[in-house]
Amino acid sequence: MAEEVNKTYKVPIGPVHVGLKEPITAWLDVDGERIVKATIRPGAIHRGIEFMARDRNPIQIIYLAERICGICSFTHIVAFVRAVEDAAKIEVPARAQYIRTLVLELERIHSHILWAGVACYTFGYDSAFHLGMILREKVMDVLEALSGNRVNYGTGTVGGVRRDITPSVDKALRDMIVFYKSEFGVFYDVVMEDPIAKARMRNVGVLSREDAVTNCALGPTARGSGLRVDLRWSAPYEAYCDMDIKPVVPQDHVGEVHGDVFDRFLVRVLEVYQSIKIIENVLAGLPTGALMWESKLPKLLRHLKQAEGTGWGIVEGPRGDDSHILRLTAEKENITWWKVRAPTYANAVSWPIMFKDNELADAPLIINSIDPCISCMERMVVTDRSSGSEQIVTKNDLLRLCREKTGRVMGA
């Protein structure tokens, strides 16, 4: 075995940490520092939510759907209630549509800033990480003012929303817009103009346009590869029907597409500006009127019990499009079946392609770049097949590798 030349090591990243929303295992075959092949194995925390839902009525499932993900919880609710509204033929009042759009965009700002901050942290740019965390607090404050919660807002329901934009929320929103307009540019500059940040993200984890198409990539991952895809534009829903939204793609802003981590970063940062603009539009055009199609819950449940049909709700979440499909059967209180497709489900298919021929030190950044849950990488085991020895590499070791590479790039 000793004279073996092309020796590769198998490095599993992930999967286990009890507090995760989307844990995933990546088995990386490495030749020295270079990743030769990657295999993905999700499922460590499949909770059988779709199975559980068979014993619940649509209103009860809202609370289950909200807990699928901690960050894009409202995205899941809107996709779910839209599927119910499609199956049960329910129309949503215009004011409720606008409030849904508003919360969806607040959630996008929250998700994108958090992601951008964590990405900076991953490659050792701690000051940008802290700056990101400070910026994110503002949108969290607004969400708290609106719903009383920083996550899981309990704001959506079948046929409308449960929270209104009161004068105090309106003020918080306008303060937030002023704050981001003056402060977010700093974050944009420190990362986008920084040569080290660019060196760590440029040409890392490349997903070509063709691969993004064939592997059905979504959201910022697809847009980072230059695909003009955005459901808010190609299949508008809620208040997006009244707005002209253009998909954000790198070629429109910097003239070229690389499909790498840098492009995904760029798309997300630019989308924060887009979301601020959308929130301004929502506030300017907020219609008056009812918040719900039917505010009396027993009446709504009766209508849902009589409904028969299959519905499909699909919305553009922060990480890509989120699909919920469900079946309602007449005279049955509970739903018949429900299927959820979160964006990571689709984007994770592209991981093996992004990993190929990258360095092990870039693995955290690449995993992070589609915006899954970074804490998946709690622990990894490095196995030396030739000697049969095993060595536990912790998340900290992996992070150290990633940060040391930044040091090398800087010539430190």
The window from 111-119, 124-132, 321-329, 398-406 that contacts another protein (CB under 8 A) reads 321-329
Q: By CB under 8 A, is residue 209 in contact with another protein? A: yes
Binds another protein (CB under 8 A): choice among 166, 203, 214, 386: 214
Binds another protein (CB under 8 A): choice among 67, 341, 356, 400: 341
Q: By CB under 8 A, is residue 240 in contact with another protein? A: yes
Q: By CB under 8 A, is residue 372 in contact with another protein? A: no
Q: In the range 218-237, which residues lie near another protein by CB under 8 A?
A: 227-229, 231, 233-237
Q: By CB under 8 A, is residue 86 in contact with another protein? A: yes
Judged by beta carbon, residue 37 or residue 209, the one nearer another protein is 209
Binds another protein (CB under 8 A): choice among 75, 111, 157, 215: 215
What SS3 string covers 215-249? CCCCHHHHHHCCCCCCHHHHCCCHHHHHCCCCCCC
Binds another protein (CB under 8 A): choice among 73, 221, 323, 368: 323
Q: By CB under 8 A, is residue 345 in contact with another protein? A: yes
The window from 174-182, 294-302, 333-341, 380-388 that contacts another protein (CB under 8 A) reads 333-341
Contact residues: another protein, CB under 8 A: 41-43, 46, 48, 50-51, 86, 91-92, 94, 97, 209-210, 213-217, 227-229, 231, 233-242, 244, 285, 287, 310, 312, 314, 321, 323, 325, 327, 336-337, 339, 341, 345-346, 348-349
